[in-house]
Chains A and B, each alone.
Chain A
Amino acid sequence: MRILIVEDDEVLIDGLKVGLGLAGFTVDAVETCADAAAALHASTFDAVVLDLMLPDGSGLDVLAEMRQRDDATPVLLLTARDSVADRVSGLDAGADDYLGKPFDLDEVAARLRALTRRSTGNASAILRWKSFQLDPASMSVSDAGRPLRLSRREFSILRALMDRPGQILSKTQLEERLYGWQEDVESNTIEVHIHNLRGKLGPGRIETVRGVGYRLAESGA
């Protein structure tokens, strides 16, 4: 899951990057409204964590611009201004959730999972497909009750595929969800992860749609 953090405090950015990274998120961070707008135009994110007081303006402007473009990416406002009036105006401006500073790292992660779950239309926190169960919160996967040991990347790929079973995800889409801007991606890494994942899930689970991408196989065992 790829998250954009818009925040201008470096210690906090570092903390969110590391903390959310450990919780299974791919995190990109920008410090200004201008950079945020540019990032949102260039890439797709599963959720945005937005501070209100930014060096070159208010985070609400970024939010308004997103919503005007019909960009429905869930937005979590993370700000020092957390009076009831501020919360109301933030939510009315199109934010999906609001968290006052200082906050609990686990709560940010949980809220982000809830936001993305809602945006993909899943009611349950645990993703299910055939005999597989994926719990984003504990980052665990099981097959008919038998736990599977997946790496962080493999987990992220499986999660992306299980978010919308049957939908084809291109290699680029998977890369975007897996890697932040700073990370170098070798050309065949996705293939390597898919290969390993297939080995762990069993044959015929992940289907290659030639020239398009990957999806969970409808048929098969």
Chain B
Amino acid sequence: MKSIRGRLFLILMITTGLVWLSAIGWIYLSTQAKVEKVLDARLVEAARMVSSLVASQGMDPAKAAEFHVAIAEPHPLYDRQLSCQIWAFDGTLVGRSSGAPGTPLTETDEGFSETRVHGETWRVYAVADAERGMRVMVGDNLSVRDRLVADVIRGLALPAIVALLALSGLIWFSVGRGLAPLNAMARALANRPASDLSPLTQTGSPSEIRPMVDALNGLFARVGALRQRERDFTAFAAHELKTPIAGLRTQAQIALGAGEGDVRGNALEQIVVGVDRTSRLIRQLTDLTNAENGDEAGQGETVNPGQMLELLADDIRRHKTGSVAISIAPELHETTLAADPFLFSLAARNLLENAAMHSTQGGRVRCTLHRQDDSATVMFEDDGPGIPDDELSKVRDRFFRGRNKTPMGSGLGLAIAELAMKRMGGALHIANRDEGGLRTEMEFRLSVKNDT
């Protein structure tokens, strides 16, 4: 059911109908009981009256039976409802009222019983007069009783149905009125341009809608913040790209103008460095966007860190001319981490590149695994200059390049690693080693993976 109005209408109509139906059922049952009681009392009374007439006034029993019918003046609709028979103990029919059957209304000697005579059910009361050897039987046709009850119910149900119809119209209209604020909100939202992320007004909105307005406003605020962040990021990225491009242009101009071999050669070399660095910067910008806006981290995916690091190390060795040895501890190959492979590779690649770039010529980068009860940590150690202590708090900022930067550095590597680790539910730790150089750690929680 798509429409709230239709849904509410249906619910209200069904519940109202059910309440009314059960009320009618109740009235039916209680009316039936009451009618039975009253009519039974009348049967008893009639039987006693006929019996006493026959006894005390010596009335002809045949006449007495007729008399009874006469005093119980019937309603035309319910006529012929009572039949009276007077039987002698020996089984001869002494007298009967008109319309009463010729056969005994009951086999019972005394009291109430129900019998079927000529296909109709009779409720019969019998009184025995032992002195005169006579038995008086007064019977009531049950179908007449049922008709009486049915008439009472019909009298009730008809106005109920009419009222229910009127009620349905009222309910339909009222629900529509009740939902008017919702429609007003929908109209306000529908007319909004995409750029308008201002909060909806709270004033005048009913308390039931307020949580939704609050939730919507919260969403607007989040979307607005996200959009602002993206705008800032684009502007920042554009600025960051301008500097290397300025360098490239300057070097290209020198190469064009310089006739001398040395100057030209140096300029061209610088252009190659500049292009490499700019393409790395662009790749990292893409990585950052992917890490930030990518699909939710896949559940249940696993990574073999050793295998992944081996691939990344190969790639770095191929692109880096310097001779830096990257060693990957064997236990990294023997473990499996529950992590998104793409995010893992983003974080690991940037940390590994960082370590390799900062290593001295002929240096060594070590990748090791440290397991604890509730966490597994992939550790990268280099023997480069490390990070000055006062810069440790800033190195995760985007585009921050400290004093120990490398020519290829963009100031994005650690920011990407941090973001990717957060997305995987892990943490990035950065510290200077006592022996000199930097240690970075990718810490993964081993407890049940939260699906955040």
Return the contact of A104 from the options B253, B277, B405 (Cβ within 8 A). B253
* CB of A185 within 8 Å of the partner chain: no
B contact set with A: CB distance below 8 Å: 238-240, 242-251, 253-254, 257-258, 263, 266-267, 270-271, 273-274, 277, 400-403, 405, 407
Q: How many A-B residue pairs have CB under 8 A?
A: 85
In the complex, A53→B398 CA distance in Å? Answer: 13
* CB of A64 within 8 Å of the partner chain: no
Whether the Cβ atoms of A12 and B243 lie closer than 8 Å is yes
* CB of A10 within 8 Å of the partner chain: yes
Q: Which of A13-21, A154-162, A198-206 contacts B (4 or more CB under 8 A)?
A: A13-21
Cβ contacts under 8 Å, A53 to chain B: 239
* CB of A145 within 8 Å of the partner chain: no
Whether the Cβ atoms of B253 and A19 lie closer than 8 Å is yes
Whether the Cβ atoms of A16 and B250 lie closer than 8 Å is yes
Whether the Cβ atoms of B403 and A81 lie closer than 8 Å is no
Return the contact of A105 from the options B244, B245, B254, B401 (Cβ within 8 A). B254
Write the nearest CB–CB distance from A119 to chain B, whole angstroms. Answer: 24
For the A-B complex with A15-B267, A19-B253 known, give 15 more contacts whose Cβ atoms are closer than 8 Å: A8-B401, A9-B243, A10-B273, A11-B248, A11-B277, A14-B270, A15-B253, A15-B254, A18-B263, A19-B254, A22-B257, A80-B238, A101-B243, A102-B242, A102-B249
Cβ contacts under 8 Å, B271 to chain A: 11
- Determine the main DSSP class of B at the interface with A: helix
Whether the Cβ atoms of B245 and A102 lie closer than 8 Å is yes
A contact set with B: CB distance below 8 Å: 8-12, 14-16, 18-19, 22, 32, 51, 53, 55-56, 78, 80-81, 100-106
In the complex, A80→B239 CA distance in Å? Answer: 5
Write the nearest CB–CB distance from B60 to chain A, whole angstroms. Answer: 127
Cβ contacts under 8 Å, B403 to chain A: 32, 55-56
Return the contact of B245 from the options A19, A101, A104 (Cβ within 8 A). A101
In the complex, A102→B247 CA distance in Å? Answer: 8
Cβ contacts under 8 Å, B257 to chain A: 22
In the complex, A19→B257 CA distance in Å? Answer: 9
Return the contact of B240 from the options A56, A80, A100 (Cβ within 8 A). A80
Whether the Cβ atoms of A9 and B267 lie closer than 8 Å is no
In the complex, A8→B240 CA distance in Å? Answer: 12
Return the contact of A10 from the options B238, B253, B266, B407 (Cβ within 8 A). B407
Whether the Cβ atoms of A101 and B254 lie closer than 8 Å is no
Whether the Cβ atoms of B246 and A101 lie closer than 8 Å is yes
Cβ contacts under 8 Å, A56 to chain B: 403
Return the contact of A15 from the options B238, B270, B277 (Cβ within 8 A). B270
Q: Which residue of the partner chain A has the closest CB to B267?
A: A18
Whether the Cβ atoms of B243 and A15 lie closer than 8 Å is no
Cβ contacts under 8 Å, B238 to chain A: 80
Whether the Cβ atoms of A55 and B270 lie closer than 8 Å is no
Write the nearest CB–CB distance from B157 to chain A, whole angstroms. Answer: 81
Question: Can you identify 16 A-B contacts, CB atoms within 8 angstroms?
Answer: A8-B401, A9-B243, A10-B247, A11-B244, A11-B247, A12-B246, A12-B247, A14-B270, A18-B266, A22-B257, A32-B403, A80-B243, A102-B242, A102-B245, A102-B250, A106-B253
Instruction: Please provide the 7 A-B residue pairs with the shortest distance between their CB atoms, ordered closest to farther.
Output: A15-B250, A12-B247, A11-B247, A80-B242, A102-B246, A101-B246, A80-B239
Q: Which residue of the partner chain B has the closest CB to A20?
A: B250
Write the nearest CB–CB distance from B257 to chain A, whole angstroms. Answer: 7
